[in-house]
Structure 1
């Protein structure tokens, strides 16, 4: 662990001193490499998914994110999130003010927005845009059981078109996350179809490399190439396959300890001249913080150290790519 009081250190001072601190950390190969960038390799703009700090109020979560070196918070504005959808008009402006006062920012939010016919969805879009939020992640869509798969995609494509028009009106960009599983978006072509007709300036994808590699296997590079012009934000997290009781399952692990080929991924992002804002997720065991619990079973410092370690590893891998 760090041997200086980084929790009470100004952010710029933290960045200056972290190089010396990581000498003692086995997961960093070069003590000064993570911040020794030329212009083309400036650090990624990494925001911390506030789901993992829901045991703290928003102001404290923002303070911690800033002290750990994150650009800001990817704020949960959804059921069981930091901000509930029905309270967005009163609570989100105050939350963003608190975040700024804590030395952080809120460029992106995670929501369950899905339809312009939903009044709460419209309130979130309008309020977020008016308070400087640039991107929101939408809800995931499920296939209708009584319709063909293509009919379902056509229906949701229209919903995204309508959201795109509202986004344009208010000046905010929506993002659909590719996600392993059976919802729409587990394969790259599904996401491509959803976004085929919407104005790409106002609705794109939040590209998740972990989910891309879980469901895409060796074809993830094709998926990235297919969706590269639609990528607005990205999610970073890692995983590996593990056999338990004779059954293979996906296990989430810290950044750099799993199967995600970050160096190849980051190199392709650079080749495509892509450097979108990042939402860092930590879904491996952290005493409940990984699941967004309001009460956790481990010391808070354990969670903060994990966050700082993942952030440093991300920046190192980005530089090395």
Structure 2
């Protein structure tokens, strides 16, 4: 579920999300050169990967203007904010997502990832994800799990793990993949590292 990395680079123009799979991550970082220096044989071919701008800093632009500006930057698309308070409200997704995708496409851009409020399996969330899938968006950054720091963590980790397994099944049925960002701060699940290992241990990388 989570063999996909999100590498975030801060720049004056915004946040560029470099999305790659594990083999790409190894090939395009120092890990690849380390292997070559150790005489591991012929270096593996470096794969290309898309660069997406996190939409939040530019979501005040209309879709056409956004596509034009992204094309000038030389990137491949956006991580679209389709969430409460985002460029597109979830309730408006069915009407607005096709417009956004069409407008971006005029300038060779795509909505590569959607940032949304989904972090559990429900009929409402399933309908939302089907809208994304129907418009070519097959990856979404899910909402965080948050801890109640006044209570024991282990039962909460177990509860989150169960939710992930249910989400995994829903993603598989729809044909989408969830991405979970490890956020700093004690209240965010995954920030302790050991809890992330427990939650994601038995989750299929193809679905999250």
Q: Deviations over 1:99-127 (max 9, x none)?
A: 112321112111111112361x2232111
Q: Deviations over 1:203-258 (max 9, x none)?
A: 1xxxxxxxxxxxxxxxxxxxxxxxxxxxxxxxxxxxxxxxxxxxxxxxxxxxxxxx
- Confirm whether residue 63 of structure 1 aligns to residue 68 of structure 2: yes
**Gap runs ≥5 in structure 2:** 1-43
- Confirm whether residue 73 of structure 1 aligns to residue 73 of structure 2: no
- The 1:158–1:125 alpha-carbon spacing in structure 2 relative to 1, beyond 3 Å, is same
- The 1:142–1:63 alpha-carbon spacing in structure 2 relative to 1, beyond 3 Å, is same
Displacement after TM superposition at 1:44 (Å): 4.3
- The 1:162–1:86 alpha-carbon spacing in structure 2 relative to 1, beyond 3 Å, is same
Equivalent-residue separation in structure 2 for 1:181 and 1:88 (angstroms): 30
- Partner residue in 1 for 2:168: 164
Displacement after TM superposition at 1:189 (Å): 2.1
Indicate conservation of the 8 Å contact 2:76/2:108, yes or no. no
Superposed CA RMSD:
2.0
Choose between structure 1 and 2: higher helix proportion.
1
Please report the TM-score for the alignment, with normalisation by the length of structure 2.
Answer: 0.73
The within-5 A match list for 1:123-202 is 123-145=127-149, 147-182=151-186, 183-202=188-207
Secondary structure of the structure 2 residue equivalent to 1:73: strand
- Partner residue in 1 for 2:115: 110
Please report the TM-score for the alignment, with normalisation by the length of structure 1.
Answer: 0.48
Indicate conservation of the 8 Å contact 1:63/1:103, yes or no. no
Equivalent-residue separation in structure 2 for 1:45 and 1:103 (angstroms): 12
Equivalent-residue separation in structure 2 for 1:103 and 1:124 (angstroms): 25
Secondary structure of the structure 2 residue equivalent to 1:184: coil
- Confirm whether residue 101 of structure 1 aligns to residue 89 of structure 2: no
Equivalent-residue separation in structure 2 for 1:47 and 1:70 (angstroms): 6
Secondary structure of the structure 2 residue equivalent to 1:157: helix
Equivalent-residue separation in structure 2 for 1:81 and 1:157 (angstroms): 27
The within-5 A match list for 1:1-321 is 40-41=45-46, 44-117=49-122, 119=124, 121-145=125-149, 147-182=151-186, 183-203=188-208
